[in-house]
Amino acid sequence: MRIAISTGGGDAPGLNAVIRAVVLSAHNRGWQCYGIQRGFEGLLGFSGVVPLGPAEVRGITHLGGTILGTTNRGNPFRYIVKQPNGEEREIDRSDDLVAAFQASGFDALVSIGGDGSLQIANDLWKKGLPVVCVPKTIDNDVSGTQRSFGFDTAVSTATEAIDKLHSTAESHERVMVVELMGRYAGWIALNSGVSGSADVVLLPEIPFDIEKVCDKIRMREADGRHFSIVVVAEGARPRDGHIALVERRGVGTVDRLGGMGSQVARAIQDRTGKEVRTLVLGHLQRGGSPTTYDRLLALRFGAAAVRAIADCAFGCMVGLNNATITRVPLEEVVGRSRNVPLDSDTVVTARELGINLGD
C-alpha cells in the first residue's frame, strides 16, 4: 500500500499529529506513506512529494503548522494561473492531478482539511480517487463531526487573551473589543467568551442590535463596573447590516472576513462616550502547540483514517460523534456548515450568566 497525505486550506494546530499517526499506523502495517507538499500542488508540478517514514515524523506531535506546507489557493478544479497581462484565471487541473496520483503508484489519499478541502476530496472521489478525509479547522464548522482538531487550541488562545484584557480594561476603565476568527460560525467566540467571562459576545448566528450591546455597557457602568469586555466573532453582523470583509476574493478562493470588531468599537464609543480599544487576535488563534485534547483527537483521527483505508472505506471522512470515532460519507458532509444551535447549552448558559448576546 502506498498512501499519499495532503494538508490543505488554512493550517490548524494538530496537523502534524495527524500526519504522524497516519505514517506510524501505516508503517506498522508494512505500508508506505508520501507527503504531497503545499496542499495538492506537489502533484501539480510545484513543490513535490516526499517519502514519510517514522524518522520524518519523529518529535512532531506537539508542533503547530504542517511539515507539508499548505495553501488555500491550490484547488485543482479551480486552479489559479496568472496570465501575461497580470490577470488571474481559473482552470480545471483535476485530470492532471489524477494522472500524477496514478503515475506515482498511490493506492489511497488521506486528505486533511476543512470545508474547501473536503469539497475537493469529494470531487476527486467522484473521479475515482480512493480518498479518506480528516476534518481540520479551528472554526469547528465542519458538519459530520462534533469536533475538528485545532478548535480546542484556538479557544484556549482566545480565552487567555480575554483573561489578559480584563486587567488592562479595568485599570483604564475602558471597553475592550476583541475580534475572533471562526468565519460564519461562532464557536470560537462563544466558547472563549463564556470561558473568559466576557460581558458581551456577538455571534454570526445571532444578528446583533448595537443598542442592546450599549445598554449592557451602560448597566455595568451604573453598577460601578467601569469596564467591559466585548467579544465579536469575525462573522458577526448587525441586524440591519452586513458581514465585514477585509477583501472580496474573486478567483479560486474565499472572501477574507474581518473588521467587525472596529465597527462595533466605533459604535460603542459614539453611543456611550466610553473609551474603547480593539484587538484583532487574528492568526495567533491558528498558531502554537496543539492542546492535549487536540493532539489526542488528531492522533485518533489519523489512526482511524488508516483503519478506514484498511477496510477499503473510501469516500468518507472520519469524525468524532458522541465520543466515538465514526465514518461519514463525504456526500453528507460537503456544502454544509455546522453552526452554533441557538438552543445549545452553552448559549443558554451564556444568557443565564448575564452575558449579552446582542439580542
| Phi, psi (degrees; rounded to nearest 5) at 145 | -145, 140
For residue 348, the one-letter residue type is V
Residues 11 to 70 in contact with ligand F6P, rule: CB under 6 A = none
How far apart CA 207 and CA 210 sit, in angstroms, is 10
CB of 352 to ligand F6P, least distance (A): 28
Strand partners, 82: 88
DSSP state of 280: E
Closer residue to ligand F6P in complex, CB, 73/166: 73
How far apart CA 354 and CA 357 sit, in angstroms, is 9
Site map for ligand F6P, 100-119, x if CB under 6 A? --------------x-----
Check if the beta carbon of residue 165 is closer than 8 Å to that of residue 231.
no
Clarify whether 139 is annotated catalytic: yes
Candidate residues 4, 257, 268, 280; the one interacting with ligand F6P per rule CB under 6 A:
257
Q: Which of 11, 115, 123, 139 is catalytic?
A: 139
Phi-psi region of 327 (alpha: psi -120 to 50; beta: other; left: phi over 0): beta
Measured from each CB, the residue nearest to ligand F6P is 181
Closer residue to ligand F6P in complex, CB, 137/157: 137
Check if the beta carbon of residue 53 is closer than 8 Å to that of residue 59.
no
Check if the beta carbon of residue 230 is closer than 8 Å to that of residue 277.
no
Tell me the residue length of the chain: 359
CB of 288 to ligand F6P, least distance (A): 13
Closer residue to ligand F6P in complex, CB, 23/201: 201
Binding to ligand F6P by residue 137, rule CB under 6 A? yes
**CA Rg value for the chain:** 22
Stretch that binds ligand F6P, among 134-142, 189-197, 292-300, 343-351 (CB under 6 A): 134-142
Candidate residues 21, 132, 181, 357; the one interacting with ligand F6P per rule CB under 6 A:
181
Candidate residues 66, 70, 72, 122; the one interacting with ligand F6P per rule CB under 6 A:
72
Determine whether 116 is exposed, middle or buried from the number of CB atoms within 10 Å of its CB (0-12, 13-18, 19+). Answer: buried
Candidate residues 183, 216, 220, 295; the one interacting with ligand F6P per rule CB under 6 A:
183
- Catalogue the active-site residues: 139
Q: Which positions touch ligand F6P (CB under 6 A)?
A: 10, 72, 114, 137-139, 181-183, 234, 256-257, 286
